[in-house]
Amino acid sequence: MKRIQAAMHENLMIAMDAFRKLPGKKMQAAEMRIREIIFLKYQMEAIADQKGYSQACRNFIPICKGECCKWHFPGNLTHLDFFAAIFDMSEAEQATMAELILNNHKHQCPVLLETGCFLSFERRPVICTNAYPCFHDQSYWNAKERQNILFKKAFDSLEAIVPFQNDRTVE
């Protein structure tokens, strides 16, 4: 758990550093890519909603207590995930998330609170569109795989705009 938190915190710091240093025109280009990512996430949620997965998931939360978000979570989120997540956040909200990542010891997902995710739906990581493991059927998985190609293109484009460095962002 500590390793996951440390890696996620480092990637958040890389994203926050890049966010502060990105000039205006590049920031506008990055925003276009982030809006594209958000649109793709909404498309996946629409598919889940059409299949009844979203409502079924909400109905089962009192029973399962959100096991998907608690434990079926990646070992890390990339600096790109965090850059997209913090795009509309204030510096105070970014600092709160950084603190939460380091100090949340309740779940594998360090941004999960007792009341739900710290991030809004629009800002949650793409990996969270892998929700509904209880309900997956082949058609949802196939749609998700097709969307993953588009997500990769959008993230590759975002990474080409933002000069991320593991030893912090290049000036």
Q: Cα–Cα distance between 148 and 9 in angstroms, integer?
A: 25
DSSP collapsed to 3 states, 91-160:
HHHHHHHHHHHHHCCCCCCCCEECCEECCCHHHCCHHHHHCCCCCCCHHHHHHHHHHHHHHHHHHHHHHH
What pLDDT is stored for residue 74 in this prediction?
A: 60
Residue 6: pLDDT band with limits 50, 70, 90:
confident
For residue range 27-73, list pLDDT tens digits in order: 999 999 999 988 988 888 888 888 887 777 777 767 766 666 666 56
pLDDT of 75 over the 70 cut: no
Q: How many CB atoms lie within 10 A of CB 152?
A: 11
Is the pLDDT reported for residue 96 higher than 60? Answer: yes
Q: What is the pLDDT of residue 95?
A: 92
The structural domains of the chain, with segments of one domain joined by +, span 2-161
Residue with tokens 């070992």: 75
State percent of the chain over pLDDT 70. 78
Say which residue, 171 or 159, is predicted with more confidence: 159
Are 77 and 127 in contact by the 8 Å Cβ rule? The answer is: yes
SS3 58: helix
pLDDT score of 25:
94
Pairwise CA distance, residues 59 & 70, whole Å: 17
Q: Is the pLDDT at 107 greater than 90, yes or no?
A: no
How confident is the prediction for the chain on average, in pLDDT? 80
Q: Which residues contact 113 (CB under 8 A, 6 or more apart)?
A: 100, 104
Q: Which residue has the higher pLDDT, 116 or 87?
A: 87
Please tell me the pTM assigned to this model. Answer: 0.77
Distance of alpha carbon 24 from alpha carbon 104, whole angstroms: 34
> What does the alpha-carbon distance between residue 23 and residue 20 come to, in Å, rounded to a whole number?
9
Going by C-beta distance under 8 Å and a sequence separation of 6 or more, which residues neighbour residue 61?
none
| Integer Cα distance of 76 and 118 in angstroms | 16
Residue 153 has pLDDT above 90, yes or no: yes
